[in-house]
Amino acid sequence: MANTNKMIFAMVAGILYVVFGILKMLEGFGIETGLAESLLIPGDFFGGFCFVVIGAVFLYAVKELSAGVHMGVSYVYVGILMSLVFMAVYLLVMGADLLMFYAVKSEDYEGWRIIDSMRPGIYLGLLSLIGYFYWKDRFTTEMTKV
């Protein structure tokens, strides 16, 4: 059943986003988690909160789907859309950093590398991108008609 796939997807994405969100919030408070460097997690309280929200949306999907509520897939779709929005946001931020480095040549950006702008929002977003293309029909046909 397609729903089992969606449930597993939502479970994985939900846990990832909640965990990363909490890590971001902790780092934002200045609590060293030790994972910041290896996972490229910036300290950012509000950004972390947003991640927890996305994770919660995915986990809500798991809750409804496991209870046999078919409409629970809505939460999977919305979770995917939201994580894609955030992926776009972080990619734009990366673009802004690129401009600051190459065009503005700002002093603050000395020694900047593209990896410095790599954020969990981008690589976690890849997961949702896969989900998006896997369930593409639902997104494209429904969003364009009406």
Nearer to another protein, 37 or 137 (CB): 137
Contact track, another protein, 102-121, x by CB under 8 A: -xx-x---------------
Q: Is residue 36 part of the contact set for another protein (CB under 8 A)?
A: no
The phi and psi torsions of 67 (rounded to 5 degrees) equal -85, 5
Distances (CA, A) of 59 to 19, 94, 117, 144: 12, 29, 28, 28
Binding segment toward another protein, per CB under 8 A, in 6-14, 33-41, 54-62, 123-131: 54-62
The residue type at 64? E
Number of residues that bind another protein (CB under 8 A): 42
Q: Is residue 15 part of the contact set for another protein (CB under 8 A)?
A: no
Smallest gap from Cβ 102 to another protein, in A, equals 10
Cα 144 to Cα 27: distance, rounded to the nearest angstrom:
40
**Residue 6: closest CA among 64, 88, 52:** 64
Q: Contact at 8 Å (CB) between 99 and 81? A: no
Q: Is residue 145 part of the contact set for another protein (CB under 8 A)?
A: yes
The residue with tokens 């890849």 is 126
- The footprint of another protein (CB under 8 A) covers 1-3, 46-47, 49-50, 53-54, 56-57, 60, 70-71, 73-75, 77-79, 81-82, 85-86, 89, 92-93, 95-96, 99-100, 103-104, 106, 138-139, 141-146
